Structure 1
Amino acid sequence: MSKFISLLLVCSPFLLLCNASISGRPYGTFEHPAARARPRFRYWLPDASVDPSTVQNDIRSAANLGIGGIELLPFYNYGGGTPVVDWVKYGFGTPAFNRIFRAALETHRECGLYMDFAMGPNQGQGVPAETDNPGLQWDLRTYSTIVSEDAPFSHSIPGWGSGDLIAAVSALVLSETEKSIPPRAGQGPPYNYTRLVLQHDSLTDLTDSVSKTGALSFSPPAHNTSGHYRIFASYQVLTHAKNLDPDTNATNTIFDNGCYIVDHFDGKGAQVVTDFWDRYILVNGIKELLSEAGNSGWEDSMELLSNVSWSPSLPARFEERWGYSIKPYVPLIIFGNNNINIQSAEPGELQCVLDTEDEGMGYVNAYRSSLRDGYAEYLNVFTNWTQSALQLQHSS
């Protein structure tokens, strides 16, 4: 099957700078911009089985058009469908990929251009890794059960064994309402969920009362409402989600497993990527070539699917910043805190709000702020690595 390579124009953010320089790098004038200031082509590479000379000829052709370089994006079927070649052999970071990468860099150097490069395949959000690497993407999954006033709870908490327990919380449910979200553009059925109003003062952290086998004894406090008590149990789990998933059952090397999406809310996620580059790609002179002909390491938009955006470091990060534990308020974050761009029509099956003026959004916003802090740390690892190891930039 013939190979295709797609080109997309990418404008440099420095295109309009006149007689300017950044970090000591001259960008030329408006009339005669240097290569770093010119637009680039986003270059979709199908996989590493492409003939390197084809890539080199495309780069030379782009140079003749006055382009500043390409943004090399190993497309890999965009993570879906049946691969037409062996991705274990031609996958990201393999010797075959490195041949393409080297050829592209050498041609940029030859033509006086500078190359942007995706940190991973597709959107650049992960690399080959061991399945138990703690820097991979995590999710938060929550289970709940109603506690009968006539029979105190005395057995395993809901969902026990599904992951690492983060929080077990009891709360008095004042009301329960069935809700729905209309389908987009009339497509498919409505999305249904349940809205629970919790009494603020009733939220109780029971995590330390859960035994090593998951058992919990809990008697609902007396109350003078028509509501009921519910126990929520939340667990963190590695998703093992991939941005490159080869059709193979082999497990001889990390390349057999494709590329795993990394934790985007902690520097450890970026460290997985940079460690991979240091070990498998920046070898045999490629690091030196990148320093000469590279421009920016790059990652596209975060297209990560989850129940709740999460990182194992978030509880400690939250408490350090806000001065209290997130555990009693975990039920409040289990709705509408996945990928708000591509999962907005599926925010979760259970929405918990408080009987306060802001319905508990202050706690939710504190969680989101801590999540943002983790993402900033993630970006800082990339920025520091590209600057210190390669004397280049990072773009997200």
Structure 2
Amino acid sequence: MLSALGSGLRGAVIQNPDQASDLASLQRAFKQPPEDSKIMMRWWWFGPSVTQAELEREMRAMKEGGIGGFEVQPVYPLALDDADHGFRNYPFLSDEFIEMLRFTSSKARELGLRMDLTLGSGWPYGGPSVPITQAAGKLRLEAIAVKSGVHRVPLPYAATGEKLIAVFLAKGDPKSFAGKTAREISDIRDGTVRLPLELQGPHVLLFFISSRTGQMVKRAALGAEGFVLDHYDRVAVKNYLESVGDRLIEAFGSNPPRAIFCDSLEVYGSDWTSDFLEEFRRRRGYGLEPYLPALVSSVGEKTGAIRHDWGQTLTELLSERFVVPVEEWARAH
């Protein structure tokens, strides 16, 4: 029945002169698409090691092949500098690299090609301008077994960029503990946690630490290596846009790129930022501190709701502190 109906509709299209004309126009448009509808391609600048002669040759080849434009993405070197053969990698954001972008922008406009630009190198956003205090954050759990008869346990080591948030005591061991039994321990003195005198059975201390993922930019160009940005931190995003974005846009003058590109949001394991607790309380109306064990273990019927609120807060922070500022920066430039 569907086949017969389809045949009838095809017949109706052919019998209607106006529709037949529209169909012919559509077919012609696919064969010769307008400039703003032609495909674009990703253009990886390895190194980046490029020359003006080769850049122009490839842009002309794109134009002749019916390609409408490209997005420049500087990525990792394929070879070391070789002075004997005139081979050189230009450090990301160096004067030489900016000059190559400037030449490409001018030539693309001359040839009628659209040009987009990755606002960085590799992925995700990050690099040498990102200090550890503005690097991608995570909530780190350090679970330490409480030995029988022990009433003082040293605090775990906190690296640069880390801060202890809270300590809980629960029944069980580091690999398997009962979140429902977790209770916060506030008696912390002289770098040690003071425990209750009478503990029955195995127990574990849960140290919740505001930490960093340590993730580095993937496939970074020469000079673009460094920590991945904390996408939940507005100040970190602002600093990145000023140190990287503003420098890149210098290459374009009055001819800005058609669009900027964020290559990836693969910020692995990032689920925290320095002021997350304050933002959670302001947005959700209650404090997360007493419920931190719910993020790593079941604490009963409230577990799902707490994790939902945690995830919703992260989503809002990503939108407000990363997506919106990047869009505003793009519109301003």
The answer on 1:387 being equivalent to 2:328 is no
Matches within 5 A, 1:210-229: 210-211=188-189, 213-219=190-196, 228-229=202-203
Q: 1:288 aligns with which of 254, 265, 270?
A: 254
**Alpha-carbon separation, structure 1, partners of 2:263 and 2:245:** 21
CA drift of 1:245 comes to 8.1
**Alpha-carbon separation, structure 2, partners of 1:84 and 1:332:** 50
Q: 2:305 aligns with which of 335, 356, 362?
A: 362
In the alignment, which residue of structure 2 is the partner of 1:302? 265
Q: Secondary structure at the match of 2:277?
A: helix
Instruction: Note the alpha carbon deviations across 1:341-386, whole angstroms, 9 max, x for none.
Output: xxxxxxxxxxx4225247x232222222211112112111100100
CA drift of 1:33 comes to 5.1
**Alpha-carbon separation, structure 2, partners of 1:124 and 1:106:** 28
Change (3 A) 1:387 1:45: same
**Alpha-carbon separation, structure 1, partners of 2:136 and 2:115:** 28
**Alpha-carbon separation, structure 2, partners of 1:160 and 1:44:** 39
In the alignment, which residue of structure 1 is the partner of 2:237? 270
Q: Secondary structure at the match of 1:303?
A: coil
CA drift of 1:65 comes to 2.4
**Alpha-carbon separation, structure 2, partners of 1:155 and 1:332:** 23
Change (3 A) 1:326 1:166: farther
The answer on 1:204 being equivalent to 2:183 is yes
In the alignment, which residue of structure 1 is the partner of 2:22? none
Change (3 A) 1:33 1:196: farther
1:264 alignment partner AA: H
In the alignment, which residue of structure 2 is the partner of 1:10? none
Change (3 A) 1:298 1:367: same
2:183 alignment partner AA: T
CA drift of 1:140 comes to 3.1
Q: 2:205 aligns with which of 225, 228, 231?
A: 231
In the alignment, which residue of structure 2 is the partner of 1:341? none
Paired residues in the alignment total 300
Change (3 A) 1:124 1:215: closer
Matches within 5 A, 1:119-134: 119-129=119-129, 131-132=131-132, 134=133
**Alpha-carbon separation, structure 2, partners of 1:247 and 1:59:** 21
Higher strand share: 1
CA drift of 1:107 comes to 1.7
Matches within 5 A, 1:1-396: 34-77=34-77, 84-85=80-81, 90-129=90-129, 131-132=131-132, 134-147=133-146, 150-152=149-151, 154-160=152-158, 164-173=162-171, 194-199=175-180, 202-206=181-185, 209-211=187-189, 213-219=190-196, 228-243=202-217, 255=223, 258-283=225-250, 286-290=252-256, 294-306=257-269, 309-333=271-295, 352-357=296-301, 360-377=303-320, 378-388=322-332, 390=333
Change (3 A) 1:164 1:95: same
Higher helix share: 2
Q: Secondary structure at the match of 1:316?
A: helix
The structure that has the greater radius of gyration is 2
The two structures have a TM-score, normalised by structure 2, of 0.76
Change (3 A) 1:109 1:245: closer
Q: Is the 8 A contact 1:38 1:67 kept in 2?
A: yes
CA drift of 1:262 comes to 0.6
The two structures have a TM-score, normalised by structure 1, of 0.65
Q: Is the 8 A contact 1:131 1:240 kept in 2?
A: no
1:204 alignment partner AA: R
Q: Is the 8 A contact 2:124 2:267 kept in 1?
A: no
CA drift of 1:315 comes to 1.7
**Alpha-carbon separation, structure 2, partners of 1:221 and 1:328:** 23
1:266 alignment partner AA: D
In the alignment, which residue of structure 2 is the partner of 1:25? none
Change (3 A) 1:215 1:155: same
CA drift of 1:240 comes to 4.8
1:272 alignment partner AA: N
**Alpha-carbon separation, structure 2, partners of 1:221 and 1:150:** 9
**Alpha-carbon separation, structure 2, partners of 1:220 and 1:275:** 54
Task: Return 5+ residue gaps in structure 2 as ranges.
Answer: 1-27, 83-87
